[in-house]
């Protein structure tokens, strides 16, 4: 509860960004608890997932944040916590629909606004915490799992024996993608940017881990494919390659990745981290412009003739597709239940130390997931 110079301020603490910029723009503000309207639920958060996208929101470069919220903005897509109040009225529950009750522990998704000790969301954005998960684990999973699920089960479904290459494989999305691909019987080449991440990617089931800090990415990937497809085999003659590549790097790796796809291969692009300098709180305009100008263009005629696809998506545009979200989280429960998915390594930070969490994530050295914990 906050007590400022003017006395009582309110129970809710949230991280508010008034203008785009560096870590100093992440301000802690107090306000009275919000009231849930019809069909809405007020949750006291216990843990909040941090995503690389939140850093881009803070920098003012995240398109859907500008489209849906503008300034000021409270970032954050996911949280877990306890239901404090359920808004009166609203639609009656549909058959089989989850109805959160006061006192229950829930996990939730929201299009921005989760960096707070209180969150109000439509009840359809809340789900029971999967059995056996802590509040921290529950908040760490949804966005990363949904991203991996959407890429590998909806957009570019992988099959038994497929070769999949996952960039940034020890990170939040990467560690989920690796496990989802493995659960579908695919064989994964994991790419990491530093040596301390190699063991994490291997433990998650990667057959090959390419450490970009010590070896050349594409020669190592090609060598694995060559050995795997069998020297002189028919497949090799038909240009063996990867069936699916997941790429959130952008400019640096998209074009060569496309070149390393097998026929019918799919290159899934869902982020552009290489536009931003590692360890810097603000984008460098020159680097941004250079990366932007050099971004690859794919000619549709080439796609047809090469028999390959390039696909992209942004989960934040899918947040109101409740049926799909429920299906995805059901799949997450199934994989957690049968041991094919485990929660990521978690590094917790007090909510008030959000700047440190962003700094660490932007350093490009973290493994697994960073989670904020309201004090």
Ligand X SMILES: NC(=O)c1ccc[n+]([C@@H]2O[C@H](COP(=O)([O-])OP(=O)(O)OC[C@H]3O[C@@H](n4cnc5c(N)ncnc54)[C@H](OP(=O)(O)O)[C@@H]3O)[C@@H](O)[C@H]2O)c1
CB of 49 to ligand X, least distance (A): 9
CB of 143 to ligand X, least distance (A): 6
Among 106, 249, 349, 373, binds ligand X (CB under 6 A): 249
Q: Is residue 348 reached through a cis peptide bond, with omega within 30 degrees of 0 on the bond before it?
A: no
Distance CA 71, CA 54 (A): 14
Binding window for ligand X (CB under 6 A); candidates: 3-11, 97-105, 107-115, 167-175? 167-175
Distance CA 176, CA 145 (A): 6
Distance CA 91, CA 73 (A): 29
Whether the CB-CB separation of 12 and 33 falls below 8 Å is answered with: yes
Is 338 exposed, middle or buried (CB count within 10 Å of its CB: 0-12, 13-18, 19+)? exposed
Q: Are strands 7-10 and 12-16 parallel, antiparallel or unpaired?
A: unpaired
Among 17, 177, 210, 248, binds ligand X (CB under 6 A): 248
Distance CA 148, CA 8 (A): 44
Residue 87: Cβ within 10 Å count: 16
Among 25, 118, 187, 197, binds ligand X (CB under 6 A): 197
Instruction: State yes or no: residue 68 binds ligand X (CB under 6 A).
Output: no
Instruction: State yes or no: residue 254 binds ligand X (CB under 6 A).
Output: no
Q: Helix (H) and strand (E) counts for the chain?
A: 13, 17
Measured in whole angstroms, how far is the alpha carbon of residue 119 from the centre of its chain?
A: 20
CB of 149 to ligand X, least distance (A): 11
**C-alpha triplet 251, 253, 254: angle, nearest 5°:** 70
User: By CB under 6 A, how many residues form the interface with ligand X?
Assistant: 31
User: Which positions from 328 through 367 interact with ligand X, judged by CB under 6 A?
Assistant: 361-362, 364, 366
User: What is the signed CA dihedral for 282, 286, 292, 295, rounded to 10 degrees?
Assistant: -110
Residue 297 contacts by C-beta under 8 Å, 6 or more apart in sequence? none
- Judged by DSSP in three states, 84 sits in strand
Nearer to ligand X, 100 or 171 (CB): 171
Among 116, 273, 325, 346, binds ligand X (CB under 6 A): 273
Binding window for ligand X (CB under 6 A); candidates: 6-14, 170-178, 329-337, 347-355? 170-178
Distance CA 122, CA 119 (A): 10
Binding window for ligand X (CB under 6 A); candidates: 214-222, 272-280, 326-334, 347-355? 272-280
Instruction: State yes or no: residue 74 binds ligand X (CB under 6 A).
Output: no
Nearer to ligand X, 74 or 366 (CB): 366
User: Which positions from 7 through 66 interact with ligand X, judged by CB under 6 A?
Assistant: 51-53
Nearer to ligand X, 111 or 118 (CB): 111
The count of residues in the chain is 375
Among 74, 125, 147, 253, binds ligand X (CB under 6 A): 147
Using the Cα atoms of residue 34, residue 40, residue 43 and residue 47 in order, give the sign of their dihedral: negative
Instruction: State yes or no: residue 174 binds ligand X (CB under 6 A).
Output: yes
Binding window for ligand X (CB under 6 A); candidates: 67-75, 102-110, 273-281, 327-335? 273-281
Distance CA 50, CA 66 (A): 19
Among 144, 179, 229, 253, binds ligand X (CB under 6 A): 144
Alpha carbon distance, N-terminus to C-terminus of the chain: 10
Q: Which of 137, 111, 136 is nearest to 54 (CA)?
A: 111
Instruction: State yes or no: residue 276 binds ligand X (CB under 6 A).
Output: yes
- Which contiguous run of DSSP H or E holds residue 348? strand 346-350
Nearer to ligand X, 171 or 257 (CB): 171
CB of 147 to ligand X, least distance (A): 4
Instruction: State yes or no: residue 274 binds ligand X (CB under 6 A).
Output: yes
Among 172, 257, 265, 283, binds ligand X (CB under 6 A): 172
Instruction: State yes or no: residue 278 binds ligand X (CB under 6 A).
Output: yes
Among 134, 223, 251, 314, binds ligand X (CB under 6 A): 314
Nearer to ligand X, 86 or 355 (CB): 355
Can you give the binding site for ligand X, defined by CB under 6 A? 51-53, 143-144, 147, 167-168, 170-174, 192-193, 197, 248-249, 270-271, 273-274, 276, 278, 313-315, 361-362, 364, 366
């Amino acid at each position: 509860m906050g007590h400022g110079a003017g006395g009582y301020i309110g129970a809710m603490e949230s991280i508010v960004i008034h203008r785009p910029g560096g870590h100093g723009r992440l301000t802690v503000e107090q306000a009275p608890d919000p009231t849930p309207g019809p069909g809405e639920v007020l949750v006291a958060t216990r843990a909040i997932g941090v995503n690389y996208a939140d850093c881009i929101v803070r920098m003012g470069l995240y398109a859907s944040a500008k489209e849906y919220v503008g300034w000021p903005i409270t970032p954050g897509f996911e949280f877990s916590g306890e239901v404090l109040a359920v808004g009166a009225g609203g639609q009656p529950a549909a058959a089989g629909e989850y109805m959160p009750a006061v006192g229950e522990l829930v996990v939730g998704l929201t299009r921005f606004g989760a960096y707070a000790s209180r969150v109000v969301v439509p009840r359809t954005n809340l789900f029971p915490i999967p059995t056996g998960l802590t509040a921290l684990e529950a908040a760490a999973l949804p966005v990363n799992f949904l991203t991996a699920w959407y890429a590998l089960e909806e957009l570019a479904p992988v099959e038994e024996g497929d070769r999949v290459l996952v960039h940034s494989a020890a990170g939040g999305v990467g560690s989920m993608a690796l496990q989802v691909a493995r659960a579908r019987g695919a064989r994964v080449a994991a790419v990491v940017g530093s040596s301390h991440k190699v063991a994490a990617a291997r433990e998650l089931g990667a057959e090959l881990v390419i450490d970009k800090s010590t070896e050349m990415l594409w020669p190592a990937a090609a060598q694995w494919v060559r050995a795997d497809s069998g020297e002189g085999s028919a497949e090799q003659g038909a240009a063996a390659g990867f069936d699916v590549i997941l790429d959130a790097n952008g400019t640096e790796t998209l074009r060569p990745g496309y070149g390393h796809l097998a026929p019918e291969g799919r290159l899934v692009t869902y982020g552009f981290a290489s536009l931003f300098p590692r360890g810097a709180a603000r984008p460098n305009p020159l680097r941004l412009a250079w990366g932007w100008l050099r971004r690859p263009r794919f000619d549709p005629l080439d796609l047809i003739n090469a028999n390959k696809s390039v696909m992209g998506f942004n989960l934040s545009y899918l947040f109101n597709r409740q049926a799909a979200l429920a299906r995805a989280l059901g799949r997450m429960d199934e994989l957690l239940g049968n041991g094919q998915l485990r929660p990521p390594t978690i590094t917790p930070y007090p909510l008030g130390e959000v700047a440190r969490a962003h700094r660490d994530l932007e350093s490009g050295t973290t493994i697994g997931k960073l989670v904020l914990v309201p004090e």
